[in-house]
Structure 1
Amino acid sequence: MSMTDSTDGWDVLAQAGELARRGEAFALATVVWRQGPSSGKQGCRAIITGEGELRGWIGGACAEPAVIREARQALVEGTPRLLLLGSPEQFGAAVPEGMTVVPISCQSEGALQVYIEPVLPVPHLVVVGHSPMAHTLVALAGSLGWHARLVEHTELDVVTERSFVVVATQGHHDEESVEQALAARPAYVGLVGSRRRGASVLGYLADRGVAADELDRVQVPAGLDLGHVSHREIAVAILAELVRIRAARGVPPGPPEPGAAAAPDATETVDPVCGMTVEVDAPVVFEGHEYSFCCAGCRAEFLRDPGAYTKKESRC
């Protein structure tokens, strides 16, 4: 789904700041170069959400679906990319290394360069307890730019689906803290303590009716196994485990919230007229096969002589 409006570049940046403050994932697309004729201008900007909604303006009917598709993939991978949109014949071997060429050869000989930057929420760490290890863990996470805070066992209402929760209450309210944390379905729940202590806590919660699949989500003991280490080194081991989990997922921790990054749907095909990758939408059926198009121009061109394009496709 996409939605274009007359929002100018500065309004788009204001909206981007608001989305970032709310902790929502999005990509910011900016036109950095154009070759006329093209409706996109240098400095045009747009926000693309994980659901594929576009706010702003980066170009017309050919450019927009390509930018949305690449922006959603950038959100999944967490890496920026520079797109060169136009006919491959326009550029030949002159394309710089690392730039992605996307064909948009429909109604124009224009071209665009669009820089796409994914903006992902800062990780949210909640540490329950006030031990020296807990203070060290919060300080270390803060040095990475994470949003980290110490809370009491009575303050777990701050936990969301994106949170990493570490219970470090040292035997005081362990069971209550773990149960309340699990109720919020966070991305991670870890309990600081021995395996024996962990088995006791989880057994108590099982007797209270907490589902087995929920209890299986609790990491006991929390952190990478570094052997016999100090309290401060335990904090390092826990943070290392959280960094590894986040990096392996390649997306903000936790189940996706509305508007969060998600992998593009596997509903893409190739426009038989221009060769552009497009989403399947209101396809034309010809000889039992469905064909989708990037714009009305390609659709009309196909309908004028479908056989010409299907024969070309069969030769490929």
Structure 2
Amino acid sequence: LELLRAGKRFALVTVLSARSPSALKAGSKAIVEEDGSTHGWLGGSCTTREIVDLCVRIMAGDGGQFVHSLETCQGGVVEVLIEPFGARRELLVVGEHSELIASITEIARVVGFQVTHLSVTPSDKAEALDRLGGFLRSVRPENLYALVATMGSDDQLFVEKILRVRPLYVGVVASKKRAEAMRRWLLAKGIPEELVERVRSPAGIDIGARALGEIALSIIAEVVKYSNTQLSTGLVASQPETQPSDLFVDPVCGMLVEPLSLHFTIIEGKRTVFCSEQCKRVFESNPQRYSPESNA
């Protein structure tokens, strides 16, 4: 229950049968986390290690139930049931419905991602940005991968909003020229360079893709590569914590605000952040009132 509440993924292992010679006993159970740590005892160190490795691979996949027969070091045979639980890898795909997005969604689901498609059309971008904000508040960033495929139509607005929650991966379907223009725009908006550099654009690994299905495959291959690298290096659960010294003061109400707050304004090249849209509007109505000189 503690693992579920924490949003962590784990697998429950049950020994269904054991044929001697084997140290494992039918009915034994254990919990295996994504990083390979275990709770409970199955017996037989070499077989247990093999089961743990199998659990980790399964949890990186589609999350179904699996029954496996394994030969033990002593020559016996055990049959185990592996049941994954908890958070799955979440892939957010942003863009108007197209053959490319349909292919991306299909391939992503095959390799085990929970896919959410946020549809965006030229007439509903503002509404889509609001829906994106609601979605980002509902998911855990340590499980989130995001792909923006609005084909150059205000893609920077969606990327900016996604970057603020620091997901594991952000990819953009764009040309190299468009990717560089977006990078400059994000930096001008005050997004830290280390976050901007994490954006993969053009998204996908080089497989010489030409057809839409091949392009989709190259993109999901890159997402899987990032996912598996983070899993094997133990980076999945690590999210930077904001220290008090990293916070800014809302000039209107005095609250401490994270530097990547969604509520900010830029006046004469200076970026000011706020706790809410209301404080932002109050500030913008009379910026001089909150200048250091006026408070001297």
TM class by smaller structure? 0.5 to 0.7
Residues 138-184 of structure 1 deviation map (CA, whole Å, 9 limit, x = unaligned): 23323445321211443331553222211112233312211222222
Residue from 128, 138, 144 that aligns with 2:105: 138
Map of 1:54 onto structure 2? 39
Q: Amino acid of the residue matched to residue 95 of structure 2?
A: G
Contiguous gaps of at least 5 residues in structure 1: 1-14, 100-112, 259-316
Residues 60-107 of structure 1 deviation map (CA, whole Å, 9 limit, x = unaligned): xxx3988876655545555978474xxx8xx4xxx26xx8xxxxxxxx
Deviation (angstroms), 1:200: 0.9
The 3-state SS of whatever aligns with 2:105 is helix
Map 1:28-39 to 2 at 5 A. Answer: 28-30=13-15, 32-33=17-18
Q: Does residue 154 in structure 1 map to residue 139 in structure 2?
A: no
Deviation (angstroms), 1:192: 0.8
Question: What is the distance in 2 between the residues matched to 1:149 and 1:118?
Answer: 24
Map of 2:94 onto structure 1? 128
Deviation (angstroms), 1:216: 1.4
Percent identity between matched residues is 24
The 3-state SS of whatever aligns with 2:150 is coil
Question: What is the distance in 1 between the residues matched to 2:80 and 2:152?
Answer: 51
Q: Amino acid of the residue matched to residue 131 of structure 2?
A: E
Q: Indicate conservation of the 8 Å contact 1:135/1:150, yes or no.
A: no
Q: Indicate conservation of the 8 Å contact 1:137/1:235, yes or no.
A: yes
Contiguous gaps of at least 5 residues in structure 2: 60-67, 119-127, 240-296
Map of 2:123 onto structure 1? none
Q: Does residue 174 in structure 1 map to residue 158 in structure 2?
A: no
Deviation (angstroms), 1:205: 1.0
Deviation (angstroms), 1:226: 5.0
Residue from 183, 195, 208 that aligns with 2:176: 195
Q: Indicate conservation of the 8 Å contact 1:246/1:253, yes or no.
A: no
Question: What is the distance in 2 between the residues matched to 1:48 and 1:67?
Answer: 14
The 3-state SS of whatever aligns with 2:160 is helix
Map of 1:237 onto structure 2? 218
Q: Indicate conservation of the 8 Å contact 2:34/2:231, yes or no.
A: no
TM-score (norm 1): 0.52
TM-score (norm 2): 0.55
Residue from 5, 11, 15 that aligns with 1:26: 11
Question: What is the distance in 2 between the residues matched to 1:253 and 1:142?
Answer: 23
Q: Amino acid of the residue matched to residue 29 of structure 2?
A: R
Q: Amino acid of the residue matched to residue 198 of structure 2?
A: R
Deviation (angstroms), 1:241: 2.5
Flag the 1:239–1:69 CA change in 2: closer, same or farther, 3 A. Answer: closer
Map of 1:206 onto structure 2? 187
Deviation (angstroms), 1:46: 2.8
Map of 2:283 onto structure 1? none
- Larger C-alpha radius of gyration, 1 or 2? 1
Q: Indicate conservation of the 8 Å contact 1:77/1:251, yes or no.
A: no
Deviation (angstroms), 1:233: 4.0
CA RMSD, aligned part only?
4.3
Q: Indicate conservation of the 8 Å contact 1:128/1:167, yes or no.
A: yes
Flag the 1:137–1:45 CA change in 2: closer, same or farther, 3 A. Answer: same
Q: Answer 1 or 2: higher relative contact order, Cα 8 Å, separation at least 6.
A: 1
Q: Indicate conservation of the 8 Å contact 1:75/1:251, yes or no.
A: no
The 3-state SS of whatever aligns with 2:170 is strand
How many residues were matched structurally?
A: 212
The 3-state SS of whatever aligns with 1:161 is helix
Question: What is the distance in 1 between the residues matched to 2:166 and 2:47?
Answer: 33
